[in-house]
Amino acid sequence: AQSVAQPEDQVNVAEGNPLTVKCTYSVSGNPYLFWYVQYPNRGLQFLLKYITGDNLVKGSYGFEAEFNKSQTSFHLKKPSALVSDSALYFCAVRDMGQSNTGKLIFGQGTTLQVKP
């Protein structure tokens, strides 16, 4: 079965320090991977995606993610965290069993808390 796991419910980091939010996946074939961010009482905002090509993907707000096929991971990273990065982050993978529907399988989300 296809799945996405975000092993940490919450990640705490000090402002200015690097941050990593972890994501692992299980799909058949080549994955399409996505990261979204959600601020309180707001919709999800798209950050970045991996479809093919370079394993290091750069996205919005200085975020990047590294696709690692051997470890089936797609961790979200940022070199220097800001307090304003505090939010709920979702990793998602395209449901390849029904690729024409565009359906996504989401992880449970990781709350990022950046402290000044």
- Scan residues 37-76 and list those touching another protein (CB under 8 A): 40-46, 49, 51
CB of 37 closer than 8 Å to CB of 105: no
Residue closest to 74 by CA, chosen among 27, 22, 38, 109: 22
User: Which of 21, 23, 33, 34 is the binder for another protein (CB under 8 A)?
Assistant: 34
Q: CB–CB of 36/42 below 8 Å?
A: no
By the rule CB under 8 A, 102 interacts with another protein: yes
**103 near another protein (CB under 8 A):** yes
Q: Whole-number minimum distance, CB 16 to another protein, in Å?
A: 27
Q: Which stretch binds another protein (CB under 8 A): 22-30, 57-65, 67-75, 93-101?
A: 93-101
